[in-house]
């Protein structure tokens, strides 16, 4: 029943009576189109753009296990909504939701935990003095699922925030508008709405005319008035509010900005429609159902609206108005909407459209828009286009729905016969389309582009007004703080910074994919990178990567790190490269120390510990002088500790039988589990890998070199190709290949050794940097120091500096290759090498050293050991006394069947101390035990090769052994043990040697030849005699506690004859 009588004040009394009738879509369309078929030019239902309904936007998230940390506020809102018995999700839960609800019912405390978490988030928001946009987006998203008291406290806080804000932040207004639109009517009362309207009315009057916040204020007023109408609220008619608000809204009709004018007219009409008692219009909307809840997907079931009678009522309102449809301009329509407090039909028509949008009933939406009697009214068209733009701009609607909305906009613009849009409306359509992202439908995008080309778009808006879209949080600062969690963006930003630093710090080392074998004895090889990635996908937790010095362990580790960073995805496993020698006491808090070095805060570290998994790439275990299991000591993968997989490197030269105990991981029960452990060994380069390396080297050279010539030269130099089977030696050899080639021509039978390659490489490195220093502009002090260095011989001083630095590193910090030095350490030993006085900075520049801040180290650990060998014996000092001898054939390890290959007379005699052996005792030879030391394997090899090349060194070492017979000092004992170890490894045999009373504890005499040797009274404690030849050796009175015989153990027994030892 509709009554369009005129009241005493001249306003229209309009009531729409909707009665329940069958409302199927086809039935409805037939009923609707019949009354207007002669005038509306509406196409049949089959030609509707929105051909089907859409499910209201629902975003589901992964449900947490009981007790799990909540990932984000989306997940929390989803959980709280599921727990609400009135939720739309509870009407038809899927299997995952059913299982989760069952788990919640079995753990009652979990529901309380989640509700308490939401309450804590509200309290955190309330406590904040300044409400930033991220926090507002997050809390507004959570608002619809809050408990009643939490919601009301939040609402009052946002309203007070708007009241006290001098800047009138628009995001607070937008947040309030969304809360009003999305939240349950049970949480709202008329006093709230009246308070909001009064506040915004005052703010509007205080706001400058040019302020863009006026738009947001008017929009929020419209939302509040819409809710007031839906809740039968009457408070807006109080004269203390209604009259001032109407008056101010009327003032906006003169505004030149059409968007602000329209929104003001909409709010004005909404205010007019709020009844003093419940009208049939309000009743119709109330019967439609509860206010539909928005972006969190919390929708209530709504009865279908009877469009037939609804449109009929609109038609009767239209007929009662003195407005000629489509005959007035946009501005005139605005003025008409404000005149004489007359209600306009386009407002209830737009409210009807809103209900269909909220329920995803787009066929009904389109039908109402097409057949409404006010369809050609400019303000109705404006409102329709605004809603279509917001549909297309809503990320929660399906793409097909968004594309239909765009097609509808294009039709309204183009179809003058059906719509007859005003120029202002057309400009509004172009503005709306301009704000939307380019549609994925290429044809549709082409139509939009064509429309722009055919039209003349004129900017008619004074401010950039965005299409209203759901406030969608991208970060969750409140939840993060409540859970003591940094923002996801902070975590990923810190990881992104670390990633960029690591990728930019990789250098230009040539990388050739290495191969590996399962053990040192097997020959079947496989691709190492594939094996490492296979390990990371498995349940195993430790991968031990073994290889000889210079075999490419560190290079591979960096390549693995690069691969893992380049394939990293948010929330994925985090690669963390750790140079173990650079970490102080890595047995404790290894990961924390490394992350602190990367400038991670304690809060970020706590987050990573609790919620992320790492891939630890630990480089240089042997260089760190470690003898502890880092996996066990750092409690990796234990409850409440770091979750990590470990890739760790270790030299094959260190052959302790129990080395695996240093790396075997433990399970949750702290029991070592070999099933979680895997070991591989880097294989020597094959010919194809050498060729690939040389090709890259030739290409990178400046100018480029011919790789085939380099390969040919390597093959022609005796024994050189056998040495270059590791990347590091190959690199050094290629750098000094011209010098090697020249030496080869002079001494065609000479066999090159590793130590000679190092000699030449370091010399070339120094000479190259000397040239660079000569081209630099030096200060006065440096110029004087450089002059003195040149007079003394720059490279000679450089080699001495290298030897002294290496010796100091071993004696002062037990061989840890990383030196931390700052200018405040002037009284420390480090200042002797790392201060800038007396040209030390120039010598450091000339050495193969790297510097990172206050940390110094050699470019490869083997250079440190090379320097240590120079501190024991520098061939340049002795070249004027003795030329190097031809190098004997390699001993091949001096095993039993090769014991006679280097039969050199080595009689040890008692003789007085000489200057030569005194020097050796004072050198690192008398201070550092070289045997059983992971960090001196290369040093031993270098000294072995010196013995084979310089007989004078052999003589000096024999003298040191002889001195130990009568000199009981610790230094002599250590020097003698090292000396005999070097000689044995060099192939020197001691057949019949007089070794009575020698003190050589801890010496390595593996496969040594001591037949008929006199070892009476010798100190052989902890000596390694595995494979040694001792036929007819006299061991009477020898101290042999802890001596090792390989598979045999030392047995303490007396010999009746007192002369012979029989091993069975």
- 369: three-class secondary structure by DSSP: helix
Please tell me the number of Cα atoms within 13 Å of 614 on its side-chain side.
26
* Lookup result for tokens 């690069």: 562
Q: Are 644 and 542 in contact (CB under 8 A)?
A: no
For 983-1003, write each residue's pLDDT tens digit: 999 999 999 999 999 999 999
The four Cα atoms 639, 645, 649, 650 give a dihedral, to 10 degrees, of: 40
**What's this model's pTM, rounded to 2 decimal places?**
0.49
* Cα gap 985→260, rounded to integer Å: 93
Q: How far apart are alpha carbons 540 and 434 in whole angstroms?
A: 54
In this predicted structure, what is the pLDDT of residue 13?
A: 38
What is the pLDDT, as a whole number, of residue 300? 31
pLDDT digits over 126-140, tens only?
888 778 889 999 999
Burial class (CB in 10 A: 0-12, 13-18, 19+), 834: buried
> And the tokens for 290?
């509860």
Rounded Cα gap, residues 821 and 429, in angstroms: 68
Average pLDDT over residues 744-771: 77
| pLDDT tens per residue across span 274-327 | 764 444 333 333 333 333 232 222 223 223 345 565 566 565 555 554 444 445
pLDDT digits (tens, 9 = 90+) for 542-591: 999 998 878 889 999 999 999 999 999 988 899 999 999 888 889 889 99
DSSP string, 433-475: HHHSPPPS-HHHHHHHHHHHHHS------SS--PPP-----S-
Residue 575: phi and psi, rounded to 5, are -75, 135
Who's near 684: CB < 8 A, 6+ residues apart? Answer: 548, 551, 725, 726
Closest by CA position to 258, among listed 333, 165, 325, 365: 333
How far, rounded to the nearest angstrom, does the alpha carbon of residue 375 sit from its chain's CA centroid?
A: 54
Residue among 873, 849, 867, 863 nearest 811 (CA): 867
Give the distance, in angstroms, between the CA of residue 436 and the centroid of all CA atoms in the same chain.
32
Question: Is 404's pLDDT higher than 80?
Answer: yes
3-state secondary structure of 614: strand
Please determine, for residue 616, whether its predicted confidence score (pLDDT) is greater than 80: yes
Geometric angle at alpha carbon 460, from 456 and 464, rounded to 5°: 115
What percent of the chain stands above pLDDT 70?
74
Peptide bond into 703 cis (omega under 30): yes
Residue 11 has a pLDDT of 35
SS (HEC) of 629-681: CHHHHCCCCCCCCCEEEEEEEEECCCCCCCHHHHCCCECCCCCECHHHEEEEE
- Neighbouring CB atoms inside 10 A of 887's CB total 16
pLDDT band at residue 522, thresholds of 50, 70 and 90? Answer: confident
User: What is the structure's pLDDT at 417?
Assistant: 87
Calculate the CA dihedral of residues 994, 1000, 1002, 1005 and round it to 10 degrees: -20
Mean pLDDT (the chain) is 78
pLDDT of residue 809: 92
Predicted local distance difference test score (pLDDT) of residue 42: 46
Which of the two residues, 290 and 503, has the higher pLDDT score? 503
The dihedral sign for the CA sequence 663, 665, 671, 674: negative
Q: Give Cβ neighbours of residue 441 (< 8 Å, ≥ 6 apart).
A: 403
- What CA dihedral angle connects 302, 304, 308 and 314, to 10 degrees? 10
The fraction of the chain above a pLDDT of 90, given in percent, is 26
Pairing of strands 613-619, 643-651: parallel
Instruction: Please state, in angstroms and rounded to a whole number, the distance separating the CA atoms of residues 623 and 25.
Output: 79
User: What is the distance between the alpha carbons of residues 119 and 774, in angstroms, rounded to a whole number?
Assistant: 71
With beta carbons less than 8 A apart as the criterion, state whether 252 and 259 touch: no
Residue 70: half-sphere exposure toward Cβ, Cα within 13 Å:
26
What integer pLDDT is reported at residue 461 of this predicted model?
57
Could you report how far apart the first and last alpha carbons of the chain are, in Å? Answer: 120
Q: What is the DSSP string of 201-263?
A: HHHHHHS-TT-THHHHHHHHHHHHHHHHHHTT--GGGSTTTHHHHHHHHHHGGG-S-HHHHHH
**Residue 173 structure tokens:** 């207004």
pLDDT, tens only, 705-742: 888 888 888 777 766 677 778 888 888 888 887 777 67
Both tokens assigned to 94 = 């899927």
What pLDDT is recorded for position 169? Answer: 59
Rg of the Cα atoms in the chain = 44
Per-residue pLDDT band for 54 (boundaries 50, 70, 90) equals low
Distance, in Å, from the CA atom of 255 to the CA atom of 265, rounded to the nearest integer, reads 11
The whole-number pLDDT of residue 788 equals: 92
Give the span between the Cα atoms of 622 and 967, in whole angstroms.
Answer: 33
Q: Phi/psi at 530 (nearest 5 deg)? A: -60, -40
Q: Do 549 and 937 touch, CB atoms closer than 8 A?
A: yes
Whole-angstrom distance, CA of residue 530 vs CA of residue 514:
10
Q: For residue 280, what are the contacts with CB-CB under 8 A and spacing of at least 6?
A: 1, 15, 16, 17, 18
All domains of the chain, ordered by start, with CATH? 486-683 (3.40.50.300), 689-877 (no CATH), 896-1049 (no CATH)
Coil, strand or helix: which one is 619? strand
> Which one-letter DSSP state was computed for residue 1009?
B
Is pLDDT larger for residue 160 or for residue 11? Answer: 160
pLDDT digits (tens, 9 = 90+) for 918-932: 678 889 999 999 888
**Confidence band of 665 (pLDDT split at 50, 70, 90):** very high
> Are the CB atoms for 358 and 402 separated by under 8 Å?
no
pLDDT of 480 strictly over 90: no
pLDDT in tens, 887-938: 554 444 444 444 444 554 455 655 544 545 567 888 999 999 988 877 788 8
**pLDDT tier for residue 87 given thresholds of 50, 70 and 90:** low
Q: 213: pLDDT confidence band, cut at 50, 70 and 90?
A: low
Q: Could you count the other beta carbons within 10 Å of the beta carbon of residue 230?
A: 18
Measured CA distances, 236 to 81, 197, 283, 345, 715 (Å): 32, 8, 18, 20, 98
CA pair distance 218, 8, nearest whole angstrom: 30
For 432-460, letters b (16+ CB in 10 Å) and e give: bbeebeebebeebeebbeebeeeeeeeee
Write the DSSP assignment of 825-891 as a string of letters.
Answer: -TTSTTHHHHSSGGGHHHHHHHSSEEEETTEEEESSHHHHHHHHHHHH--HHHHTTT-PPPPPPPP-
Helix 737-746 / helix 707-716 crossing angle, nearest 10 deg: 40
Is the predicted pLDDT of residue 644 greater than 90, yes or no? yes
C-alpha 307/C-alpha 18 separation (Å) is 9
Residue among 364, 225, 392, 234 at smallest CA distance from 302: 364
pLDDT of 514 reads 94
Q: What pLDDT does residue 1028 have?
A: 92
């Amino acid at each position: 029943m509709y009554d369009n009588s005129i009241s005493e004040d001249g306003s229209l009394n309009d009531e729409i009576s909707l009665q329940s009738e069958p409302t199927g879509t086809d039935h409805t369309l037939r009923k609707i189109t019949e009354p207007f078929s002669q005038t509306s030019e509406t196409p049949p239902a089959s030609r509707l753009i929105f051909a089907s309904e859409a499910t209201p936007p629902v975003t589901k998230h992964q449900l947490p296990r009981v007790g799990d940390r909540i990932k984000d506020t989306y997940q929390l809102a989803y959980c709280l909504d599921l727990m609400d018995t009135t939720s739309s999700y509870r009407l038809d839960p899927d299997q995952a939701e059913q299982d989760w609800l069952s788990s919640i019912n079995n753990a009652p405390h979990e529901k309380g935990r989640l509700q308490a978490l939401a309450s804590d988030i509200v309290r955190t928001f309330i406590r904040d003095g300044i409400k930033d946009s991220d926090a507002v987006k997050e809390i507004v998203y959570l608002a619809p699922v809050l408990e009643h008291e939490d919601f009301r406290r939040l609402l009052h806080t946002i309203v007070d925030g708007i009241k006290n804000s001098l800047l009138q932040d628009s995001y607070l207004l937008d947040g309030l508008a969304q809360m009003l639109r999305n939240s349950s009517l049970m949480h709202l009362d008329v006093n709230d709405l009246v308070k909001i309207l009064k506040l915004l009315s005052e703010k509007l009057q205080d706001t400058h005319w040019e302020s863009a916040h006026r738009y947001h204020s008017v929009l929020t007023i419209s939302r509040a008035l819409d809710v007031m109408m839906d809740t039968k609220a009457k408070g807006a008619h109080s004269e203390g509010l209604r009259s001032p608000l109407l008056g101010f809204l009327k003032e906006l009709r003169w505004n030149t900005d059409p968007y602000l004018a329209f929104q003001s007219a909409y709010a004005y009409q909404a205010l007019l429609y709020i009844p003093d008692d419940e009208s049939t219009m309000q009743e119709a909307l109330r019967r439609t159902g509860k206010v539909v809840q928005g972006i969190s997907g919390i929708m209530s079931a709504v009865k279908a609206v009877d469009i037939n009678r609804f449109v009929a009522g609109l038609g009767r309102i239209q007929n009662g108005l003195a407005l000629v449809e489509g005959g007035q301009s946009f501005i005139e329509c605005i003025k008409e909407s404000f005149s004489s407090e007359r209600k306009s039909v386009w407002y209830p028509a737009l409210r009807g459209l809103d209900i269909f949008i909220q329920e995803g009933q787009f066929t009904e939406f389109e039908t109402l828009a097409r057949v409404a009697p006010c369809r050609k009214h400019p303000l109705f068209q404006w409102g329709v286009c605004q809603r279509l733009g917001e549909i297309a701009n809503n990320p929660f609607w399906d793409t097909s729905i968004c594309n239909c909305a765009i097609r509808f906009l294009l039709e309204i613009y183009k179809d003058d016969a059906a719509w007859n849009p005003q120029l202002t409306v057309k400009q509004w359509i172009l503005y709306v389309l301009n704000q939307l992202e380019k549609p994925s439908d290429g044809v549709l995008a082409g139509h939009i582009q064509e429309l722009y080309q055919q039209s003349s778009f004129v900017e008619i808006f004074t401010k950039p007004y965005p299409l209203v879209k759901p406030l969608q949080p991208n970060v969750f600062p409140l939840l993060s703080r409540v859970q003591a969690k940094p923002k996801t963006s902070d975590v990923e930003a810190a990881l992104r910074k670390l990633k960029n630093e690591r990728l930019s710090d990789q250098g230009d080392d040539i990388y050739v994919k290495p191969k590996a074998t399962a053990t040192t004895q097997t020959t079947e090889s496989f691709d190492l990178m594939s094996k490492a990635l296979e390990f990371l996908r498995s349940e195993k937790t430790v991968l031990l990567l073994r290889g000889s010095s210079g075999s490419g362990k560190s290079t591979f580790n960096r390549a693995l790190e690069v691969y893992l960073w380049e394939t990293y995805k948010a929330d994925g496993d985090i690669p963390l490269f750790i140079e173990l020698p650079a970490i102080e006491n890595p047995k404790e808090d290894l990961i924390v120390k490394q992350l602190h070095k990367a400038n991670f805060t304690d809060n970020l570290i706590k987050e990573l510990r609790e919620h992320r998994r790492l891939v630890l790439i630990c480089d240089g275990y042997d260089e760190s002088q470690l003898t502890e299991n880092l996996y066990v000591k750092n409690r990796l993968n234990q409850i409440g500790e770091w979750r990590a997989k470990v890739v760790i490197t270790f030299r094959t030269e260190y052959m302790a039988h129990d080395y695996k105990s240093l790396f075997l991981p433990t399970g949750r029960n702290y029991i070592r589990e070999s099933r979680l452990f895997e070991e591989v060994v880097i294989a020597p380069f094959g010919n194809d890998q050498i060729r690939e390396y040389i090709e890259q080297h030739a290409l990178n050279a400046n100018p480029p070199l011919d790789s085939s010539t380099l390969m040919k030269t390597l093959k022609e130099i005796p024994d050189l190709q056998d040495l270059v089977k590791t990347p590091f030696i190959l690199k050094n050899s290629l750098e000094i290949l011209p010098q090697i080639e020249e030496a080869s021509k002079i001494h065609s039978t000479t066999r090159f050794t590793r130590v000679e390659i190092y000699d030449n490489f370091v010399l070339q490195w120094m000479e190259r940097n000397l040239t660079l220093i000569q081209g630099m502009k030096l200060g006065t002090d440096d110029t004087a120091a450089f002059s003195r260095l040149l007079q003394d011989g720059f490279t000679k001083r450089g080699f001495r500096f290298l030897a002294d630095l290496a010796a100091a590193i071993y004696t002062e910090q037990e061989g840890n290759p990383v030196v931390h030095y700052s200018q405040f350490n002037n009284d420390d030993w480090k200042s002797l090498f790392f201060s800038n006085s007396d040209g030390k900075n120039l010598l450091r520049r000339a050495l193969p050293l790297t510097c990172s801040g206050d940390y110094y180290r050699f470019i490869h650990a083997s250079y440190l050991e090379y320097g240590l060998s120079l501190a024991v014996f520098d061939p340049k000092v002795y070249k004027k006394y003795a030329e190097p001898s031809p190098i004997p054939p390699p001993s091949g390890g001096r095993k039993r069947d090769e014991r006679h290959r280097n039969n050199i007379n080595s009689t040890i005699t008692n003789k007085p101390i000489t200057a030569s052996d005194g020097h050796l005792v004072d050198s690192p030879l008398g201070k550092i035990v070289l045997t059983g030391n992971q960090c001196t394997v290369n040093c031993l090899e270098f000294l072995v090769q010196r013995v084979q090349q310089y007989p004078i060194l052999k003589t000096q070492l024999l003298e040191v052994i002889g001195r130990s017979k009568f000199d009981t000092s610790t230094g002599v004992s250590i020097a003698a043990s090292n000396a005999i170890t070097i000689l044995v490894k060099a192939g020197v045999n001691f057949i019949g040697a007089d070794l009575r009373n020698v003190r050589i504890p801890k010496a390595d005499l593996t496969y040594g030849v001591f037949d008929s040797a006199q070892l009476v009274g010798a100190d052989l404690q902890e000596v390694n005699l595995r494979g040694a030849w001792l036929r007819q050796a006299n061991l009477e009175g020898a101290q042999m506690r802890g001596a090792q015989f390989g598979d045999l153990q030392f047995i303490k027994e007396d010999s009746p004859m007192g002369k012979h030892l029989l091993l069975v």
